[in-house]
A and B are shown apart, each in its own frame.
Chain A
Amino acid sequence: MTTSLAAPRATATTLTWQGSSALTQVRVLTWRCVRALLTDPAVLLFGLLQPVITLFVLTQVFSKMGPPPHFPPGIKYLDFVLPAVLVDNAVQSAVQSGIGLVEDLKNGLVSRLRSMPVAPGSLLVARSLATLVRSAIQAGIILLLGTTVLGYAPHGGVTAIAESVALTLFISWSLAWVFIAAAAWLRRAEPIQNLAVIAVLPMMFASSAYIPVADLPDWLAAVSRLNPLTYAIDSTRALALGLPGSTAALPALLLGAGVAAVGATLAATGFRRPLGQG
């Protein structure tokens, strides 16, 4: 009965492998998510659908209507709206990180990882990084369409676009933690999708995304000023248009860092809870 307790380690055979570093775990798991993305172009395509349609519809509508009174002078509507569309894309990608984690919980990957010498946080970090990659690929496609088909050419030039996109990707990464946290706690896809519908549509409209806040009705303007997306969009837009000074990125960076920190903490605690019992 107790033989193996009495002489415990003498019976243990040598391990085949000694386990991997946290860095390797994150790299391997991130590559797994990205790979699934690359081998399934339909996923990317559907992810691009909403931002691209928004981009085309808005630029068509607003070029017919003419600019609202508080629109920054001397700026094309396309140049104004494209940074916001990239943020929209960033939010959409962030939602997918939550959906992805729910899938991992459902298909048993998480339970398998728990039985392996793998840090639980590795998968969460991997999911957030995969979102970053996804966001970057989609942003690249939107930019390509914007510059070649529509003629996107903001005042800031190539450097400004690069800075703006980099900030947008950071926002995407930090928002990913919100949806990863939601997935870690809710563990079902439906509430996350609902959360996404609420987060994406109204929050984009009740922000500085499509027209300047000053041109929104008063109550909507008030909501917009409370909406973190307004500050994210203002920052990426200011960078792309080369508007004010070097501090433009600061609000978005601080906000993003805060959101990521809170999201990651919540995600880690939610993820640690036991899996469903059978």
Chain B
Amino acid sequence: MIEAHGLGKTFGSVRALDSVSLSARRGTVLALLGHNGAGKTTLVSILSAALAPSEGRASIAGYDVTREARQVRQRIGLTGQFASVDGQLSGRDNLLLLARLLGAGRRAALARADELLELFGLTELADRRARTYSGGLRRRLDLAASLVGRPEVIFLDEPTTGLDPASRLNLWEIVEGLVAEGTTVLLTTQYLEEADRLADSITVLSAGSVIASGTAADLKARVGRRTVTIDLDPADDRDTALDALRRAGLTPVTGREDGAVVLPADGSREIAAVVRALDQVGIEAAELIYGEPSLDDVYLTLSGHPAGSSLLLPEGATP
């Protein structure tokens, strides 16, 4: 349903995307995971036929995004990073406007608007101006707006950024409902948790390149279900610590902050190995944090570099 091969985009002297390939089958969720500036929005713009790629090709539902842009636009829905609703108009009028632009007659537009308002629990607020809505409500209206034309593919560009946990959960449930009905979803996110919950497959972008892709389970197998972050005293030598950990059969990488070391660790055995290895070389950790891997950790373990630090990625990191 979504296919991309060797997509690249250059803005002036900035290389925003570099040979990105991905694919998603009908009725599945593909998550694009990456930090700000990783190229997620550029990629979404190209796939939604809003921006021409510098090279490569992509298709949505079999239609080429550059040569058959109109057919693509008739089949997609887009929810951007900022809820794009017209605050001056009521919730219903926002939906009516889009339905009319898509070619619906007055009656059909009204029917579709009411249907979506109902589905998103906005019926009671339908006649209030959208600018009086809370952030969560606006995001819901925005998502409803992207569904007006019953799209086959929807793009959700960081749909839950800035939402409170309850609104986030609510939005996740809505997305799951859409997918169950056969909609294909491309979701960009900075949250590993979100990708994990919703996505059938995950593509990790860093500095415009794909550094990993696979199912959530694949990625976790590579990153480790949990990670240990070790903060060293400034007095201790980080290289000594890294060496000791490697000798113990672990795979540490240098963390984002000075003196930090991060490594995947799935259980107490690894933690014990960490403590032993450090003890042997006489290093005492200032702090030792054991927890869910963050997006930073994913980057670190997959690329061996802190996020955005380098375009040069190890060969093995690219699938």
Interface, chain A (partner B; CB < 8 A): 1-5, 7-9, 11-13, 15-20, 24-25, 28-29, 32, 35-36, 39-40, 107-109, 111-118, 274-275, 277-278
**Does A19 lie within 8 Å of B89, measured CB to CB?**
no
User: Which among B37-45, B191-199, B306-314 touches the partner chain?
Assistant: B37-45
Interface mask (B61-77 → A, CB under 8 Å = 1, otherwise 0): 11100000010011111
B1 contact set on A, CB distance < 8 A: 4, 11
User: B77's closest neighbor in chain A, by CB?
Assistant: A115
In the complex, chain A residues whose CB is within 8 Å of the CB of B86: 32, 36, 107, 109
* Pair A274/B101 contact, Cβ less than 8 Å: no
**Is B50 a contact of A114 with CB atoms below 8 Å?**
yes
Is the beta-carbon distance between B74 and A19 smaller than 8 angstroms?
yes
On whether the beta carbons of B149 and A4 are closer than 8 Å, the reply is no
Could you say which of A17, A25, A39 contacts B104, with CB atoms under 8 Å apart? Answer: A17
Instruction: Tell me the complex Cα distance, A108–B23, Å.
Output: 27
Check B74–A15 contact: CB distance below 8 A: yes
CB-contact partner of A20 in B36, B48, B93, B103, under 8 A: B103
Q: Contact at B145–A12, with CB atoms within 8 Å?
A: no
In the complex, the answer to whether A25 meets B62 with C-beta atoms within 8 Å is no
Q: Is the CB of B80 within 8 A of A108?
A: yes
CA A32 to CA B152, docked complex, whole Å: 27
Closest to B63 in A: A8
Q: Could you give 14 example pairs across A and B, Cβ below 8 Å? A: A2-B3, A4-B26, A4-B59, A11-B62, A12-B62, A20-B100, A24-B103, A109-B84, A111-B80, A112-B146, A117-B102, A277-B11, A278-B36, A278-B40
Query: Contact mask B273-295 → A, CB, 8 Å, 1/0?
Result: 00000000000000000000000
Task: Report if A17-B149 is in contact (Cβ < 8 Å); known contacts: A111-B78, A117-B74.
Answer: yes
Contact among A3, A12, A108 with B75 in the assembled complex (CB-CB below 8 Å): A12
- Tell me, in angstroms, the Cα distance from A16 to B23 when the chains sit together: 25
CB distance from B208 to the nearest CB of A (A): 11
State the Cβ distance, B99 to closest chain A Cβ, in Å.
Answer: 8
Q: Is the pair B45, A16 in contact by a Cβ cutoff of 8 Å?
A: no
The smallest C-beta distance from B249 to any residue of chain A, in angstroms, reads 35
Residues of B contacting A32 in the complex (Cβ-Cβ under 8 angstroms): 86, 89, 93, 97
Check A111/B89 contact, CB under 8 A, given A15-B75, A20-B103, A116-B73: no
> Contact between A36 and B88 (Cβ–Cβ < 8 Å)?
yes
Interface residues of B in 226-251 (CB under 8 A from A): none
For the complex, what is the distance from the CA of A107 to the CA of B130, rounded to whole Å?
12
Considering the complex, give the chain A residue whose CB is closest to the CB of B84.
Answer: A108
Which of A5, A12, A15, A107 is in CB contact (< 8 Å) with B87? A107
CA separation between A72 and B217, bound complex, in Å? 87
- Are B89 and A36 in contact (CB-based, < 8 A)? yes
Cα A13 to Cα B222 with chains together (Å) = 38
Decide: B89 and A11 in contact? CB cutoff 8 A: no
- Residues of B contacting A5 with CB < 8 Å? 3, 59, 62
> Contacts A11-B62, A40-B88, A115-B49: A278 and B81 contacting too (C-beta < 8 A)?
yes
Q: Does B82 contact A (CB under 8 A)?
A: yes
Q: Which residues of A contact B100 (CB under 8 A)?
A: 20, 24, 28
Tell me, yes or no, whether B223 is within 8 Å of chain A by CB: no
Q: Is the interface of A mostly helix, strand, loop or mixed?
A: loop
CB distance from A17 to the nearest CB of B (A): 4
Interface residues in B126-155 by Cβ distance below 8 A to A read 142, 145-146, 149-150, 152, 155
Q: Which of B142-189 contact A (CB under 8 A)?
A: 142, 145-146, 149-150, 152, 155, 157
Q: Find A12's partner among B41, B61, B70, B73 (CB 8 Å cutoff).
A: B61
Cα–Cα distance between A50 and B318 once the two chains are bound (Å): 63
Distance from A125 Cβ to chain B, minimum over Cβ atoms (Å)? 14
Contacts of A40 in B (CB 8 A): 88
Tell me which residues across on chain A come within 8 A of B317, comparing CB atoms.
none
Q: How far is the CA of A131 from the CA of B101 in the complex (A)?
A: 21
Please give 9 more A-B residue pairs, beta carbons under 8 A apart, in addition to A4-B61, A19-B102: A8-B61, A15-B149, A16-B102, A18-B74, A107-B82, A108-B82, A108-B85, A111-B80, A274-B50
Q: In the complex, what's the smallest C-beta–C-beta distance from B155 to chain A, in angstroms?
A: 8
Residues of A within 8 A of B87 (CB): 107
Q: 7 shortest A-B CB distances, which residue pairs?
A: A108-B84, A8-B62, A278-B41, A115-B78, A17-B103, A36-B88, A20-B103
Alpha-carbon distance between A148 and B70 when the two chains are bound, in angstroms: 54
Once A108-B82, A111-B78 are accepted as A-B contacts, the answer to whether A11 and B61 lie under 8 Å apart by CB is yes
Q: Known interface pairs A20-B100, A20-B103, A108-B82. Does A115 touch B149 (Cβ–Cβ under 8 Å)?
A: no
- Which residues on the A side are within 8 Å of B81 (C-beta)? 278
A261 to B40, CA, bound (A): 38
Q: Which A residues touch B99, using CB under 8 A?
A: 17
Nearest B residue to A17, CB-CB: B103
Contact B89 A35 (CB under 8 A): yes
Chain A residues within 8 Å of B75, by CB:
12, 15
Quote the shortest CB–CB distance from B5 to chain A (angstroms): 9
A4:B62 contact, CB within 8 angstroms: yes
- Chain B min CB distance to A106 (Å): 9
By beta carbon, the residue of chain A nearest B188 is A278
A residues near B3, Cβ cutoff 8 Å:
2, 4-5
B101 interface neighbour in A16, A25, A107, Cβ under 8 Å:
A25
Interface: B205 (CB within 8 A)? no
B23, B45, B103, B157: residue with the most chain A Cβ atoms closer than 10 Å:
B103
CB–CB B103/A19 < 8 A: yes
B84 touches A117 (CB 8 A): no
Find out whether the CB atom of B50 lies under 8 angstroms from the CB atom of A111: yes
